[in-house]
Every structure is written in C-alpha cells, then in structure tokens.
A and B are shown apart, each in its own frame.
Chain A
C-alpha cells in the first residue's frame, strides 16, 4: 500500500493528462476535467501545508530558544495580522487586509529583490572577469545589449559627427535588437529544445514509476 498505490495514482493521473490531449472522445475530456479540478484542490492544500510548516518552524524556534528566536514572534504576528483581517473583513478594496497588503507587503517585497542591484554592482567590480574566451564573449555581448536597451547607447553613438544623419541613426539599439533576434534566439532555442527533452524524460520516469525520489526517497 505504501508504495504501489501512490505509483498507481501517479500512472493513472499522468496517462489521463496525456491521453486527453490525443483522444477527444469521451470519457477522456470528463476524466481530464476531474483530474484538473482535484489537482487545484490538492495543490492549494499543499500551499497551506507550507504555511503550517512555516508556523511550526517558528514556534519550535521559540520553544527551543534557537538562534534568532526573538524574531519568530514577528513572523507569527505578521501571519495572524493578515489572516485575521482577511477572514474578518474580506480582501476587497477599502478592507484592512487590502491596506496592509498594499502599504506593507508590497514595498517590502519590492525592496527585498532590489537589494540585488547592489550585489550585481559589487559582483561587477570584484567577480566578473574575462578570464577565458567564453567569459569574454559573454561580457562583450552583455555590454552591447546593456548599451542598446537604454537611451544612452544611441545618444553616445549620435555624438559621433555624421552618425545621426547616417543610414543607421540608432545603430546601438539596432545591434542590441539584432543580438536578441538572431544569436540569442538561436542559443535560447537550442537550450529550450534540450530542456524540453529533459522534462519529457523525467516526466516519463515519474509516470512509469522508475523515478521515485518525489515520494520522499523511500524506495
């Protein structure tokens, strides 16, 4: 029961989703819709599981006084503030939930990732080296794209006398667009095809029960 029933469910659910694509005749559309509706419900309980895990980790941290345990109550209060206001007054505009989200969660989320601009800057200074021909080609292409995607690239080009009247007044952004439309498209397409075959192989192994790591490693 512990192994063969889950593998059977994976196989059946997988085959329904595949066959539904190729066979329009009933019962496959109805079966397919069933799997999808159940998928949404079970997937949302998986998300709720993540939330439970987060609370469990922080409660255990407080109980065991682990490193930085003083901050765990902040997470729990944050959770309760959103959860209770959301439950009590709903999520539409002019509700406390909406207000807390827009005024606190949104700026924090945006700031968290904007820190990366600084890390890129320091990495640019201390880590990006043209130490081999691969990295040099990459940095050259990056320079052209970075110059072409912002107005300053063309402005610098047009400082050159006669450039503005030439056949390519906006040469730098044209070069950047060419890099995106031709070499970039070719390279990205090769990666897409390779990765797609990886997904096909992995999905096959999961549906036929060859790959079982998702069951928690219990073979």
Chain B
C-alpha cells in the first residue's frame, strides 16, 4: 500500500495536466448545464443598482484590463453594456489600461449594432490615457482636460451627449472592470470617497476577496461600492439576472468539475504526504 502511495506521490506532472484539460473540455463539449440560482450578494446588488437607473442617466464605464484577464472580464462588460443600453442609459467609456480601450470598443460597437443604439448619442469611447489614479483626480476638475478628443479624434466639444457633462460629479454611476492596479481601489478612493459618485464594478476572482470591505453597508450610509461582480461566477450571475445567458453561464459547469478535480488532487496529495511518513519537522511558525 505504501509503495502504491509512493508512486502516486510523484506522478509525472503531464498526467496531471491532461486530467486538468479533460476536466474542462469534457463538460464544455457535452454542453453540460447546471442550474445556478443567484442569491443575495454583491452581484445582485450591482444588478439592482443598474436596473434602478432612470432612462438617460449617465454612467462612466472604465475598461481597466487587458487580454490576460479577458475571459473573466469581457463577459461582464458585454452583460453590463447590454443591460444599460437596453435601459437606454448613456455610457461614456474610457480606459486606464491601454489595451482596455480596444477591448471596450469591441464590446460597445457589437452590442450597439445589435441593439441599434447611436454612437455619440447613447455611447462614446474616450479611449486610454496614462496616469491611473492621478488621471481620475483630474476628471474631478475637468473631463475635457483629460480627454480632449474621443478614440476617433472627435473633439470633446463636438460630441452631443457630452454637452452637459464637464466633471466626474456629473455622472450617476461609475463602473470599472478592473484586472489590478490601476482599478477598483483607485476609483473607490477618488470617485466614491473624494467626489461622492457611486462606484460599482467587476474584477477578476483573484482580487475579489480584497474588495469585500468596500461593500459593507451601514445604516443610512452609502457603501463605498454599490456592487461587485467577482470573476466568471459574477459574470454568470449577471448574465442570469438579465436573462441573456452567454459564455460565462456556459462555463459554470466546467468550472464546477474543475474545482472538484482540484480538491480531489489536494486530498490525494495530502494522503500520500501523511501516509508515506514524509511528515517533516514543520514548525507551524506561530501559535
């Protein structure tokens, strides 16, 4: 028995890779679907806030991510833009990460074509600027100073929907899709805490736990963040809430199987570790 565990203990990494690949490919290929109710939580809070926005209210949407986190954040962007455009909420898009400008443009133009919304009337993409948090503070005094033109070099003054928007305070909500820094912390610090503009957003699952303190609501106080979509699960929640299941919801079954496989690996790993007596003198390093 010990011999067997010994051999399992140092199995070749590539076998583990193959098992992992199968754990993802099989559920996707079989198009396995799993019923996933959306309970109370940050995803629902964001949906509720966006749903309550009256028509023609103005949202600043910042695409602060790059291709490396596209699989998690692009479905969120698509779901949010679809939801807002169908409630004809005006979207002013921008980006704190250079590649976010183009990724955002892809979503905005494809959703606006399908829903028939008008560029420069219902949405505009101001593109990317350097500066991160420093740029956001600059938006507090003047949007035009930071974005003299939009992505297609149309001057700020000639864009009809921006005629009555001059600073960050003129927005009813800021939505940031953030893969790291600059991202959610910068927007919460400046837009929410300094200028009092409500902030909501989505982030990769890696950084979601760190933003829960911002979500706490105190009696009669505005929370630092109105809602948060955490990782692919957050995107799937939002897709379910707006009844447009997309890539994220389809991925949930594969996500489930892969999680089980990882947990089984950890259990087996620990069994072989303890069983083969390789229990080294490990100091817990702390009471």
Task: Give residues in A with beta carbon < 8 Å to B.
Answer: 21, 29, 32-33, 36-37, 39-40, 43-44, 47, 91-93, 98, 101-102, 105-110, 112-114, 117-118, 120-122, 124-134, 139, 143, 146-147, 149-155, 170, 173-174, 177, 180-181, 184-185, 188-189, 191-192
Q: What are 23 A-B contacts defined by CB distance under 8 Å?
A: A33-B142, A37-B145, A44-B130, A105-B67, A105-B99, A114-B71, A120-B262, A121-B261, A122-B16, A125-B269, A128-B270, A129-B270, A131-B280, A132-B285, A134-B285, A147-B263, A149-B259, A150-B256, A151-B35, A152-B34, A177-B40, A185-B212, A185-B216
User: Complex Cα distance A146/B231, Å?
Assistant: 12
Q: Mark B192-204, 1 if CB is under 8 A from A, else 0.
A: 0010000000000
| Chain A binding surface SS class | helix
User: Complex Cα distance A191/B285, Å?
Assistant: 19
B212 touches A117 (CB 8 A): no
> Using Cβ atoms and an 8 Å threshold, which residues of chain B touch A177?
39-41
B262 touches A124 (CB 8 A): yes
Task: Give residues in B with beta carbon < 8 Å to A.
Answer: 9-11, 13, 16-17, 19-21, 24, 34-37, 39-41, 66-71, 99, 102-103, 105-106, 109, 129-131, 134-135, 137-138, 141-142, 145-146, 151-152, 194, 209-210, 212-213, 215-216, 231, 233, 252-253, 255-263, 265-266, 268-270, 273, 279-280, 282-286
A124 touches B266 (CB 8 A): yes
| Chain B binding surface SS class | helix
B213 touches A152 (CB 8 A): no
A143 touches B263 (CB 8 A): yes
Known: A117-B20, A150-B256. A43 touches B265 (CB 8 A): no
CB distance from A193 to the nearest CB of B (A): 9
CB distance from A141 to the nearest CB of B (A): 11
Q: Which residue of chain A lies nearest to B38 when distances are taken between CB atoms in the complex?
A: A173
A37 touches B34 (CB 8 A): no
CB distance from B229 to the nearest CB of A (A): 12
CB distance from B130 to the nearest CB of A (A): 4
> Using Cβ atoms and an 8 Å threshold, which residues of chain B touch A128?
266, 269-270
B130 touches A113 (CB 8 A): no
> Using Cβ atoms and an 8 Å threshold, which residues of chain B touch A192?
210, 213
> Using Cβ atoms and an 8 Å threshold, which residues of chain A touch B146?
40
User: Complex Cα distance A106/B87, Å?
Assistant: 30
8 nearest interchain CB pairs? A109-B67, A152-B256, A132-B284, A151-B34, A121-B20, A44-B130, A150-B256, A124-B265
